[in-house]
Amino acid sequence: MTTPDIAVVGGGLLGRLLAWRASRAGLKVTLYDAAGRLGEGSAAWAAAGMITPAAEALDSDAEIVAMGRNSLALWPQWLAELPTPVFYRDAGSLMLWHREDVGEARRFESMLSSRDSRSALKTVDSATLQTLEPALEGRFPQALYLPGEAQVDNRGLLAAVADALDVAGVECHWHTTVDDHELPGAGVVVDCRGMGARRDWPQLRGVRGEVARLYAPDVEVRHMLRLLHPRYAVYVVPRAEGRLVVGATSIESDDRSEVSVRGALELLSSAYSLLPALGEARILEFSTQVRPALPDNKPAFHFDREHRVLRINGLYRHGFLLSPTVVEEALMWLSATGEPRASGRWECLCDALEVVPAC
């Protein structure tokens, strides 16, 4: 049997995207994942699939915003190359606030101006907002509009990339747990296990998120909606066929248990304050996710030259925002023989470009 150039361990969003793109680059790839081909064991399974670099500027620095903009350009190209169509919409984001929270809007404008020089932020009045998003029913006198920001159906994407791996002939070992001390043979092993790599990367911490999926066929939402609020910064993301994804929470915890009563109440109450029509929506699902984060909330690479293991981790809340850029960077690192090489494009990744021992 021919030894693969790359063995990817961890088939969540990052791992399966990397395996797919590496195979398209002509490398022989195998993939191992403890869960199944649908990606139900990954943080991406419960995500909202938002690709919103400007909207994330409130809690991220200019480098993350720039990486997100690069990903925003890559996503349509990559989606067009998949064998299965995936729901994608780039209608943009509307940032909303209640009258008493106007200070949050001003804070967001200030942060965005310092972190995203390419932002096309627009302030829209009530009449324009009514045209953009009739579902809001004139409830907000102003909004901030970020055109061009996008979202992708997270679960549809995971399935479509699995289909692409099959088409490419990538050998996929689903429901296969890889022990830290029994890594598969390959030119380079790429560890994309997220929180599963905590033993080898002890600086990782979990950031819990809670998400609701609703069915509201009578509520037509055209844009991603975000509520600017000092405590409950909820988002509402429209999907096809009357479905909506509602999320907000970032809790410093690696607790994977079900959504709490308090979390559900806060999440749905905040969404209801944006769109009272959601009071008649049906709850399809509550789900939780634990996202891997490093101390600076930025992604990083570590290469263990002795064992030829490249570890990629720390995408925090930005899996869909950053994954194409991180994958692109990883492939620039890997030559045809699998030897990492630095491109120096992104500081948060370049901090770890030097060869370092296993953590």
Could you tell me the CATH superfamily of domain 93-147+205-292?
Answer: D-Amino Acid Oxidase, subunit A, domain 2 (3.30.9.10)
At residue 248 the predicted structure's pLDDT band, cuts being 50, 70 and 90, is confident
Where are the CATH 3.50.50.60 domain residues in the chain? 1-87+151-201+294-359
C-alpha dist (Å) from residue 228 to 1, 63, 102, 126, 261: 55, 22, 9, 17, 23
Query: Residues spanned by CATH 3.30.9.10 within the chain?
Result: 93-147+205-292
Token couple for 266: 């806060």
Rg (CA), the chain: 20
What per-residue string of b and e applies to 234-254 under the rule 16 or more CB within 10 Å gives b? bbbbbbeebbbbbbbbbeeee
Cα distance between residue 342 and residue 349, in whole Å: 10
Scan for tokens 């990397």, then name that residue: 18
Going from the C-alpha of 292 to that of each of 43, 46, 206, 306, the distances in angstroms are 9, 14, 5, 25
* CATH of region 1-87+151-201+294-359, choose from 1.10.150.120, 3.40.50.970, 1.10.10.1100, 3.50.50.60: 3.50.50.60
Q: Is 227 helix (H, G, I), strand (E, B) or coil?
A: strand
Cα end-to-end span (Å), the chain: 31
The predicted model scores a pTM of 0.93
DSSP conformation letters of 44-109: GGGS--EE-TTGGGGTS-HHHHHHHHHHHHHHHHHHHTSSS---EE---EEEE--GGGHHHHHHHH
CA distances from 263 to 208, 251, 253, 281 (A): 11, 10, 14, 18
Q: Give just the sign of the alpha carbon dihedral 166, 172, 173, 177.
A: negative
> Among 296, 303, 301, 316, which residue's Cα sits nearest to residue 351?
301
pLDDT, position 123: 97
pLDDT in tens, 98-141: 999 999 999 999 999 999 988 999 999 999 999 999 999 999 99
Summarize pLDDT for 208-237 with one digit per residue, the tens: 999 999 999 999 999 999 999 988 889 999
Q: How confident is the model at residue 59 (pLDDT cuts 50, 70, 90)?
A: confident
The identity of residue 69, as a single letter, is: R
